[in-house]
Amino acid sequence: MKYVLDGLNCPRCAAKIEAEIKRIPGLEQAELNFATKTIDLPPGYEQEVQAIIERIEKGVVLRPHKEEEKENKIAALLPIGLASLFLLAGFTAENVFSSFSSYLFYGVAYLLVGWKVIIRAGQNFFRGFLFDESFLMTVSTFGAIVLREMPEAVGVMLFYSLGEYLQDLAVAKSRRSIRALMNIRPERARVRRGNRWVEVTPGEVKPGEIILVQPGEKIPLDGRVVQGLSFVDTSLLTGESLPQRVEAGEEVRAGTINGGGVLEIEVLRPYEESAVARIMQLVEEAAGRKSPTERFITTFARYYTPAVVAAAVTLALVPPLFGNGSFQEWSYRALVLLVISCPCALMVSIPLGYFGGIGAAARRGILIKGGNFLDGLSVAHTVVFDKTGTLTEGVFAVTSVHPAPGYSEKDVLYWAAAAEVHSHHPLARSLLRACAGESLPEAAAGDYREVGGLGVHATVEGHEVLVGTSRLLSAHGVVVPHQDFPDGTAVHVAVDGKYIGSVILADRLKEGVGRVLTELRGLGIKKLVLLSGDSKKKVQELTASLNFDEAYGELLPEDKVRITEELMFRLPGKRTLVFVGDGINDAPVIMRAHVGIAMGGLGSQAAVEAADVVIMDDDPEKVAQVIRTARFTRRVVKQNIVMALAVKGLFLLGGSLGLAGMWEAVFADVGVALLAVFNSLRLIRQVPREKEELLPAQI
């Protein structure tokens, strides 16, 4: 069950909570998604996890994900505004009245913005959680008060609180952007119950029931149109802006928008199994799969902050002991170091950067299942394509039938289609369309078997029927006569061990295949490879027209895996191989590749579930788009890391030499964190400029 950690806005605390939860037996694989503030837990662990949360971050509440999150940002801003007024009053009192009266105003201002930070630091101290931002801010401001730098102590706590407030707003904006990208879930469904239409939630509708969708409404569940004609806007699901025409007999997906006509739709799947529910689950789970960079930063912060605290203590004690300056002077410099050392910029902006990249891709109808796959795509060296359904439309048409002597064209089509009734392969669907209107017997379910990459072996009306490649028939002792077939794919048919003829089906390339290969070369992809179960002759012809570096034909699923492994073995350094496929036969090689991309529209459920990236509208040009998005994300993340470390390093040096005070330290902490967060939000708000997109990545 999915839970929300309501009130969680501290990335360091999120990392601590996740580490503690993973120590509970049975929750070793738990992942806390800071970007969405969610965690998946099995039943029975709620109280134990809530106790851990209370121990680390007071005020954070674990609640079921379905409840609506409410945040009062005005209430959080009120103490900051009052503290600012009291700080100004303190400055006035110090100049007009006495320093004692000014300290009263400073004290009130300090407590208004600092009491929560102080309490949290104290709680964490007694629980053994040291060196977080609350501890650092409390120690540094207490030290400033002791050194009679009261205005600076108030200023540090005030700007820290203001920075936290603005940072929370930026994080919330990112979350709202992701929610907006996923705002495809229909709230209500109009279902026929008896003689009237009743409005219910989509989850209450069962497969087989009829729902009514008016023009302009979202289609709430996957189904088949039984009455009506309309145009459906699929842009929320696939990123495709051109509406698609639908009529009786055609399938529609949940989350798409009905255009101009009223549709009655027979529900095919429950809501939990619909396309929209699966997309939302994939996008939400994506941010939980952390990239190596995110894991490194979490580990880095664990050691970085204690190291800086140790350096601050050394800086405060060692120089005065050797007579080099006063204890007060070096203590002040040490306090500056404590403020600067907070790793908030890295802990917040890095996960947001990856989540922004995932969101930007989702808006284009591309689902990336984790930040680690963005990293893999950004260093792609070789892209391997399946042919049928990936580069071709996967909609075959029967172009000719070649019966053996003694048989008719109708006989060959009849037995081929009857054997393929249970198959979902594009070739099988085409055979069935060619026999539309014919009364076909169904292959016996118990004696129906698909032979991966070769065809089907079925029993129809007591007869053994083989439909597929010449290799399949030869393996069963059937002799296939040599023939010169016209362009297309030959499907051979045998009944009771006797060859009865062949059916020729032709497919065509998808629009834009040539462009995507050119774009990939422009992006610096070094090798393009084609794998297919089609004949070597047809594969070679396609290779010549599209300029692949390597091409292989007549492959079984295990052959594709073997060749992919050989290509991976030849990769230089830490570069990766990307495989793009669509069919059930592609699932093994999709899983074996460094990054597997599945065509989600025509693609099989197995391929979509096995893939790391899903292209929802089957557009091959989006392969280049997703690589560009990955590289843009990688650039933004690197910018954040370099900016945060460079600025902090500069101010740490300046603070040690006495060239930076508390005000500069606040910028080095809060200011840099905000700059990094806003830089990450660029990924959600915009795409890289065309000039940048076409440049090869600097890898």
Report the distance separating Cα 80 and Cα 86, nearest Å.
10
Local structure of 420: helix, strand or coil: coil
Sheet holding 210-213, edge to edge: 196-200, 189-193, 210-213, 263-267, 223-227, 251-252
- Other Cβ atoms less than 10 A from the Cβ of 387: the count is 23
Local structure of 132: helix, strand or coil: coil
Phi (first) and psi of residue 577, to 5 degrees: -110, 135
For 205, the token pair is 């509708």
Local structure of 211: helix, strand or coil: strand
Sheet holding 257-258, edge to edge: 244-246, 230-233, 257-258
Sheet holding 397-403, edge to edge: 397-403, 498-506, 489-495, 463-468, 455-460, 449-451
For 198, the token pair is 């009743």
For 39, the token pair is 């965690």
Report the distance separating Cα 330 and Cα 37, nearest Å.
41
The number of residues in the chain equals 699
Phi (first) and psi of residue 401, to 5 degrees: -130, 135
Is residue 213 packed enough to be buried (19+ CB in 10 Å), middle (13-18) or exposed (0-12)?
Answer: buried
38, HSE (Cβ side, Cα atoms, 13 Å): 20
- Which of 627, 639, 635 minimizes the C-alpha distance to 524? 627
Write the DSSP symbol of residue 554.
Answer: S
CA end-to-end span of the chain? 40
For 680, the token pair is 């990450």
Write the DSSP symbol of residue 669.
Answer: I
Report the distance separating Cα 5 and Cα 63, nearest Å.
7
- Other Cβ atoms less than 10 A from the Cβ of 309: the count is 19
DSSP string, 511-530: TTHHHHHHHHHHTT--EEEE
For 489, the token pair is 């794919």
Report the distance separating Cα 20 and Cα 342, nearest Å.
21
Report the distance separating Cα 254 and Cα 221, nearest Å.
4
Cα dist from 288 to 33, 39, 355, whole Å: 5, 9, 9
Contact between 514 and 546 (Cβ < 8 Å): yes
Q: Active-site residue 222, yes or no?
A: no
Contact between 417 and 435 (Cβ < 8 Å): yes
Contacts for 421 with CB less than 8 Å, ≥ 6 apart: 432, 440, 442, 443
Tell me which of 386, 507, 612, 618 is the catalytic residue: 386
- Which of 174, 578, 629, 604 minimizes the C-alpha distance to 374? 629
For 109, the token pair is 């201002």
> Pseudo-torsion of CA 163, 169, 171, 174, nearest 10°?
-140
Task: List active site positions.
Answer: 386
